[in-house]
A and B are shown apart, each in its own frame.
Chain A
Amino acid sequence: MKKFDLELVVGIFLLIGILSIGYLSVKLGNLDLTGKRGYTIHAEFEKAGGIKPGAVVEIAGVEVGSIKNIRLNNNAALIELTLDDTVKIYEDAIASIKTKGLIGEKFIQITPGGSEKLLSTGGKIRDTESAVDIEELISKFVFGKV
């Protein structure tokens, strides 16, 4: 009887151990590099304008997430954004790449929409504004005067 009890205890202990490891790996798997949880959505931009993974995503100047990944898709920049779970983005939101100050770092600004459909993981912000190319604008202004 005594031997049986010991085996049972070891078995239960092992089971708890495996469950803990499983829980831990799921929890860790959800974490991205910046250590934030959340959900991921996409946005396609005509020009990424040198924005980098890890850059901030803001709504009304408040940080709500970050850029997870940037890749080329169909000659456009497909940016993956990780957003905090508490932030709700509607389907008609507009994402713009902005610069802090005139030559500061780039970030993504989301102007919230008001449609009925909420974006969930894997959703896509369809309406975007690419980074404004200041050099291009200056050259246009210069040549426009000729």
Chain B
Amino acid sequence: MKKSPFSLVLCTIIAGISLACFPLSADAGEPTDQVKETVDAVVKILSDKELKKPEKEKERRAKIRQTVDRRFDFEEMAKRSLSSHWKDQTLAEKKEFVALYADLLENRYIRGIERYENEKFVYYDERVDGEYAMVKTKIVDKKGLSTPVEYRIQKKKDRWEVYDIVIEGVSLVNNYRTQFAQIIRSSSYNDLVKRLREKVNK
């Protein structure tokens, strides 16, 4: 009889620990899996020693771009960034803008990704709301410093595609939306395209 309270406490602790540990893996659904798949694929390219050689830089960048392209919905991102000005553009203009936008993100972010040094990716939460979802992750570097990165994704047919990234609480789309709106208001859409082109060709 004396033993039972103790074993009860033990059981509670074990149950508590397992409950605390398992939701992490049990929570991971389709959106997390698909984001993880892409991140892992990019990490694989980055860790490839053969591709690290300077002469293979172009090939490496193209491979990363290809992998990212499959998961990121650049058209949706560009559309959201232009917000109300998107509707005013012709089909050809939209197409051109999406291409420029994707190049801009590539220039801006792939260089950052290329500095990858065995950071760890932790997927700790996922929220699904109809055809929208949010995957919360943390990038932990060697010093143990973590940066929260949140993927906002949308279901298109049977694929989950990223339409916004929130890093350290700051939304990428919102950042560009504010800047683009400012440029369009103070000058024009053509000026925005011109500026983007300059940035991309730099």
Give chain A's interface residues, CB within 8 Å of chain B.
46, 74, 92, 94, 96, 111-115, 126-127, 129-133, 137, 140, 143-144, 146
Contacts and interface: CB of A to CB of B under 8 A. Distances in A.
A140 B132 CA distance: 31
A90 to B, nearest CB: 8
Given A129-B166, A146-B143, A114 B173 contact: no
B185 to A, nearest CB: 10
A115 B143 CA distance: 42
B65 interface: no
A111 B81 CA distance: 10
Interface residues of B, number: 24
B178 A144 contact: no
Given A111-B178, A129-B174, A92 B80 contact: yes
A111 B180 CA distance: 12
A67 to B, nearest CB: 19
B86 A114 contact: yes
B132 A126 contact: yes
Contacts of A96: 171, 174
Contact of B170 (A111, A126, A129, A146): A129
Instruction: Identify which of A46, A74, A133, A137 gathers the most chain B CB atoms within 10 Å of its CB.
Output: A46
B190 to A, nearest CB: 19
B169 interface: yes
Contact of A94 (B84, B85, B143, B171): B171
Nearest to B170: A129
A130 B170 CA distance: 8
B152 A111 contact: no
A123 B168 CA distance: 26
A127 B84 contact: no
Contacts of B168: 132, 137
Q: Enumerate the 7 nearest inter-chain pairs by beta-carbon distance, A residue then B residue, closest first.
A: A114-B84, A114-B83, A94-B174, A113-B83, A129-B171, A114-B86, A130-B169
A115 B164 CA distance: 15
B174 A111 contact: yes
Contacts of A132: 168-170
A3 to B, nearest CB: 66
Nearest to B84: A114
Contacts of A111: 83, 174, 177-178
Given A126-B132, A129-B166, A144-B145, A114 B82 contact: yes
Nearest to B174: A94
28 contacts: A46-B169, A92-B80, A92-B83, A94-B171, A96-B174, A111-B174, A112-B83, A112-B84, A113-B80, A113-B84, A113-B177, A114-B80, A114-B82, A114-B83, A114-B84, A114-B85, A114-B87, A115-B79, A127-B164, A127-B174, A129-B166, A129-B170, A129-B171, A129-B174, A140-B145, A143-B143, A144-B143, A146-B143
